[in-house]
Structure 1
Amino acid sequence: MPTAPPRKVLLSMKHIGRRAAAGLAALMLLGIGSAGALAADDPDDSGTVVILNKGDNNKIAGRDLIDGNDHTTGTGHTVTRGTVPPTTPITTAPRHVVAFYQTGTTTGDGTPYVSPAPLAGYADVVEVAAFHLNDPAQFPILTLNDDAPSAAKYAPMWRDVAALQAKGVKVTALLGGAAPGTYTRLDADFAMYYPPIRDALKTYKLDGIDLDIEETFTEATAERLINQLRTDFGPNFLITLAPVPGDLTAAAGSRLPDVDYRTLEANVGSKINWYNAQFYCDNGSLADTSDYDAIIQNQFPASKVVAAAITNSNLNCSGFVEMPTLQNTLRSLANRYPGFAGAAGWEYAPSRDVNATNCPTGPANWYCAVRQALPTATNP
């Protein structure tokens, strides 16, 4: 009988489960006796063991493979060993749902406290808004809205966001917003104004920061701020920005020396997790996909552009989109862009209850409805 041509067999007992089909097939062919020795050939789990059989494959069943044995009968067969790179499994991940949280964060000032606790399971990021830098002669150098973050009125909020973090929700700080001064102060004296930001992020154990730049701010200082944050807080810290769509559709270099988002992405984009693009207040719309599409056409990856919507028509801001229409837009974006980053809502406490089924009542209902519209993303 002629000797059968050499064939490669994949085997690693350590990969049973992850490579169950290949492993079981190899065990059937090779016999139990060879498995332990072969597993030891891949001690660092770097790949699957490659075995080249030189013997008669018809006589291999039930025998151990032995290095250096070239017999076609008897106790074994000659083998050579190497590795092939492990197969990267296809994984799935939920797209982001971001809840901006400003109104309702306080108690004792005449407005009701609105707990973010119902967002667990629906939003994966809650942004506490808004932190501001101030003239220290008039206010504390860093405030959360109009008071120091340590003010007693915020105690219930800090308690509840910590409970969300314990459930896996990321809690971040929104820095800036419509109130002017924060970014001009950073431009003027970075050494003075950056440390209070850093210290507050550490004190309140926040998971990230959203840079909502709505005033003049130079590109150089923006890059310095992002670089410093990444240095101080490491790779797992979230750094996001909140531009309007026009910022993300502007031609590269057209906004310099102020913040130019194409330049920012080119220079420090590896340190930015994503952009919460604000499609409201006369800054684009999510009634359809066209304004989002224009951003992608300007070379921003969909995996880094979260579509932010306004959550109620009564917020003195145009651009509210009824939930059925918004859900259709989000589904279309998810279908068009497999890596589509997800959605955000400004803001949590006054969010409209849209009567979504299988969802909590109250403001979390809006975010639950958005989550239902976002199919799971596949990451190759």
Structure 2
Amino acid sequence: MFCRALSTVFVLLSALFSACVASALPTDGLDLEARNILKRATPAAPHFVVYSDEWVSGENGPPAVSEVQGFNVFALSFLLTEGAFDQAEEWVEIGASARSSIKAQYEAAGIKLIVSLFGSTDAPTSTGADPVGTANTMAAWVKEYDLDGVDVDYEDFNAINAGDGKAEAWLATFTQQLRTQLPQGQYILTHAPVAPWFSPGKFGGGAYLTVDKTVGSLIDWYNVQFYNQGTSEYTTCAGLLTQSSSTWPNSALFQIAASGISLDKLVIGKPANTGDASNGYIAPATLAGCVEQAKAKGWDAGVMVWEFPDAAASWIQTVRSQAFPE
């Protein structure tokens, strides 16, 4: 079955879509549908992700593209089980016209706009949130407000630490339902676990080693939080990349990969400065060297940072300078 003649780029795209999907679309609506999917399509690595939760004086919605040049994913934080807060709430409040204008500017600059879910103040498993209903509600929010996807910043430490597997099961069901509503390849779906959750044998339910085995194929990449885990954890290139401490064994970047997690899904997450995390900070110029070392060993997943405006265009320019210069 063949579609009617399209522009060159959409002819190339047609190979990516099955005949059944093409046949289900009205002929006169196919161009629009293809364009919408292209706009939302998951970007290839490397991923340079910046979160935005802080209120910024004079800002009305996400910052100007020039302020975040060098990043390719901007995460509005947070959408909670109770609804939108902080930058996610601001995205709602600026109105449809402003959202459309900002979205177009970000698309032109190659920057995806996503929303981050939960964060440190939301504990969905411990509070008994239904994973299917929560996923449905959050996916509907993403569609209503025209975003490119979600980041699952699950920080329900009590549930993981319980070691009974309930947290892992909740995350699996939640992720599966998100993917039902936000199809792979059309919407970004990432997770942001802390690095120790990949440490073998430390958690009764297996933490993110179990999550990856169960639903890892549905997750585009992991924005791994290599911070807030102890004053000396992940603070040198060696500790970050090849040899974690005995407190969180086998949780450095390449050690996580050795446990079976795809190396190309492991995005290095760091705080922008010492004030953005309790510990785990590495100065941008030093981090640039660590990133270059990782790339030399075959890694190219990218870097995540918490948060804007402490991390902006100049921060990512420095961090990218040795391995991924613009």
Separation of aligned partners in 2, 1:124 and 1:150:
18
Name the structure where helix makes up a greater proportion of residues: 2
Q: What is the Cα-based RMSD across aligned positions, in Å?
A: 2.8
- Give how far 1:120 is off: 5.7
Residues 1:230 and 2:171 aligned together: no
Tell me what 1:95 maps to.
46
Tell me what 1:145 maps to.
86
Residues 1:210 and 2:151 aligned together: yes
Residues 1:115 and 2:76 aligned together: no
Aligned length: 257
Separation of aligned partners in 2, 1:298 and 1:312:
30
Distance 1:192 1:304, change over 3 A: closer
- Give how far 1:98 is off: 0.8
Distance 1:330 1:150, change over 3 A: closer
- Give how far 1:202 is off: 0.2
- Give how far 1:184 is off: 3.8
- Structure 2 residue corresponding to 1:124, chosen from 59, 68, 72: 72
1:159-308 aligned at under 5 Å gives the runs: 159-185=101-127, 187-215=128-156, 216=159, 218-236=167-185, 237-251=187-201, 254-256=203-205, 260-282=207-229, 284-288=233-237, 289-290=241-242, 291-308=252-269
- Give how far 1:245 is off: 1.0
- With normalisation by structure 2, the TM-score equals 0.70
Whether the 8 Å contact between 1:211 and 1:241 is mirrored in structure 2 is yes
**Unaligned stretches of 5+ residues in structure 2:** 1-14, 16-43, 160-165, 243-251
Separation of aligned partners in 2, 1:164 and 1:231:
26
Whether the 8 Å contact between 1:104 and 1:112 is mirrored in structure 2 is no
SS of corresponding position for 1:255: coil
Tell me what 2:305 maps to.
345
Separation of aligned partners in 2, 1:153 and 1:183:
31
Tell me what 1:319 maps to.
280
- Give how far 1:342 is off: 1.1
- Give how far 1:326 is off: 0.5
- Give how far 1:126 is off: 0.9
- With normalisation by structure 1, the TM-score equals 0.61
- Give how far 1:179 is off: 0.5
Which digits, 9 at most, give the CA deviation of each residue in 1:346-378, with x for residues without a partner? Answer: 101122xxxxxxxxxxx31101222323348xx
Distance 1:242 1:262, change over 3 A: same
Distance 1:121 1:268, change over 3 A: same
Distance 1:270 1:316, change over 3 A: closer
User: What letter is aligned with 1:326?
Assistant: L
SS of corresponding position for 1:331: helix
- Give how far 1:153 is off: 5.6
Tell me what 1:18 maps to.
none
Which digits, 9 at most, give the CA deviation of each residue in 1:209-260, with x for residues without a partner? Answer: 11111112622221111111112121212111111110012339x432xx72
Q: Which structure's CA Rg is the greater one?
A: 1
Tell me what 1:139 maps to.
none
Whether the 8 Å contact between 1:223 and 1:264 is mirrored in structure 2 is yes
